[in-house]
């Protein structure tokens, strides 16, 4: 496996380090193209405006590779939007976190001081948009939606941290999808990327303004513990909810600390997150064309009573299962 250690910054200087490690071609400090013996595709880096830069990656690796972003002392956040069809690994503070556009958590928001490693799936297209947002810019945008005292507390690095994993919201998901259809040499692509980044930032600010800060700096052990249990829940959606006590023990925390941190990192209670993921899985199964009835789908995801399943599904998606169900053989 080719292993690369690098850092990010709001300016393009960090790219040469990766280009050298891969033997890649770097054009105008913007476009990086993979050598054919490693894979196809590349990445585009753009400075959109003061305090906001983007990195769009569209690559297919033919050799195993891991790319570790080292922790930095700079003052900016990194937002990951994963649009890949296949599941890749994103290792955060030692925990292997699966990411993918269709079924797993596809969005991450973290401080640049958190180290992470990307391991793309081999021979599969990896597609991702990343925003680098200065804390000053995000703070100024937040100041337009919250009282100044609240904003100051939210961005107090001495005691708080902003960090979460989640699904890509529906507006941003629709916004990102067209990016996968463009080639790097399209004359409109740079303009499209910048416009997409600005709109994605708008949706992000609307989302972040409802967050509460984590009133303590997250340790690597705490981060790993929460993500480990989130992954466990998503990997066992066909079973019953294991209970908070089991999950807290798995994370190495007290139940009270676990519930607090889980809610702040994943933006929901453990049981609520589990049920949401179960219903998202059911949504995919309903449209898969592999089942003869909605009852079969409900039983598959652990609902013994189809009526209860339909009720839970409607509450989550404001529609009934039969509205999207595709019967096997049709």
Each residue's pLDDT tens digit, 231-251: 788 778 888 899 999 999 999
Domain range for residue 23?
A: 2-208
Q: Which comes out higher in pLDDT, residue 170 or 8?
A: 8
Residue 315 lies in a domain: yes
Query: In a 10 Å sphere around its CB, with 0-12 CB exposed, 13-18 middle and 19+ buried, how is residue 330 labelled?
Result: exposed
- Check: CB of residue 7 under 8 Å from CB of residue 132: no
Looking at the structure, tell me whether residues 138 and 253 fall in a common domain. Answer: no
Looking at the structure, tell me whether residues 171 and 292 fall in a common domain. Answer: no
Question: Could you identify the residue written with the tokens 């947002």?
Answer: 133
Question: Is the sign of the CA dihedral 144, 105, 100, 290 positive or negative?
Answer: negative
User: 137-141, 181-185, 186-190: which range is least confident on average?
Assistant: 137-141
Closest CA to 263 of 315, 228, 213: 213
For residue 151 the two structure tokens come to 């904003």
Virtual CA dihedral for 269, 272, 277, 279, nearest 10 degrees? -170
Residue 214 lies in a domain: no
Q: CATH number, domain at 240?
A: 1.10.10.60
Looking at the structure, tell me whether residues 244 and 313 fall in a common domain. Answer: yes
100 pLDDT band, cuts 50/70/90, is very low
Residue 65 lies in a domain: yes
- Segment 203-217 mean pLDDT: 66
- Check: CB of residue 235 under 8 Å from CB of residue 180: no
Looking at the structure, tell me whether residues 238 and 203 fall in a common domain. Answer: no
Looking at the structure, tell me whether residues 184 and 309 fall in a common domain. Answer: no
Looking at the structure, tell me whether residues 157 and 29 fall in a common domain. Answer: yes
Query: In a 10 Å sphere around its CB, with 0-12 CB exposed, 13-18 middle and 19+ buried, how is residue 255 labelled?
Result: middle
Q: What is the DSSP letter of 90?
A: E
Please count the CA atoms within 13 angstroms of the CA of 5 that sit on its side-chain side.
4
The last residue of one of the domains, among 189, 208, 227, is: 208
Question: How far is C-alpha 277 from the geometric centre of its chain's CA atoms?
Answer: 15
Looking at the structure, tell me whether residues 180 and 265 fall in a common domain. Answer: no
Q: How far apart are CA 83 and CA 101, in angstroms?
A: 5
The last residue of one of the domains, among 154, 184, 208, is: 208
- In tens, the pLDDT along 307-330 reads 999 999 999 888 999 999 998 876
Q: How far apart are CA 306 and CA 86, in angstroms?
A: 31
Q: What's the number of domains the chain is made of?
A: 2
pTM of the model: 0.69
The last residue of one of the domains, among 145, 179, 208, is: 208
């Amino acid at each position: 496996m080719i292993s690369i250690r690098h850092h990010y910054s709001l300016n393009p200087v960090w790219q040469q380090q990766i280009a050298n490690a891969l033997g890649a071609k770097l054009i105008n400090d913007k476009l990086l193209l993979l050598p054919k013996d490693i894979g196809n595709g590349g990445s585009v880096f753009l400075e959109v405006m003061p305090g906001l830069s983007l990195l769009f990656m569209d690559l297919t690796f033919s050799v195993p590779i891991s790319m570790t972003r080292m922790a930095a002392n700079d003052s900016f956040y990194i937002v990951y939007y994963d649009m890949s069809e296949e599941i890749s690994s994103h290792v955060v503070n030692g925990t292997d976190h699966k990411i993918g556009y269709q079924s797993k958590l596809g969005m991450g928001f973290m401080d640049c001081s958190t180290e992470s490693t990307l391991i793309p799936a081999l021979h599969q297209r990896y597609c991702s948009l990343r925003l680098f947002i200065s804390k000053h810019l995000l703070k100024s945008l937040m100041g337009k939606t919250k009282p100044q005292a609240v904003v100051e507390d939210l961005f107090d690095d001495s005691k708080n941290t902003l960090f979460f994993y989640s699904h890509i919201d529906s507006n941003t998901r629709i916004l990102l999808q067209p990016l996968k259809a463009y080639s790097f040499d399209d004359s409109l692509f740079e303009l499209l990327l910048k416009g997409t980044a600005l709109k994605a930032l708008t949706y992000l600010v609307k989302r972040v303004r409802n967050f509460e800060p984590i009133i303590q700096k997250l340790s690597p052990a705490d981060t790993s513990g929460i993500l480990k249990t989130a992954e466990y829940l998503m990997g066992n959606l066909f079973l019953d909810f294991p209970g908070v006590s089991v999950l807290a023990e798995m994370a190495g925390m007290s139940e009270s600390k676990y519930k607090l941190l889980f809610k702040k990192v994943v933006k929901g209670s453990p049981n609520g997150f589990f049920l949401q993921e179960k219903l998202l899985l059911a949504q995919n199964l309903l449209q898969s064309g592999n089942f003869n009835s909605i009852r079969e789908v409900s039983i598959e995801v652990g609902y013994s009573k189809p009526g209860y399943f339909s009720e839970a599904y409607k509450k989550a998606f404001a529609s009934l299962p039969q509205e999207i169900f595709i019967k096997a053989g049709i």
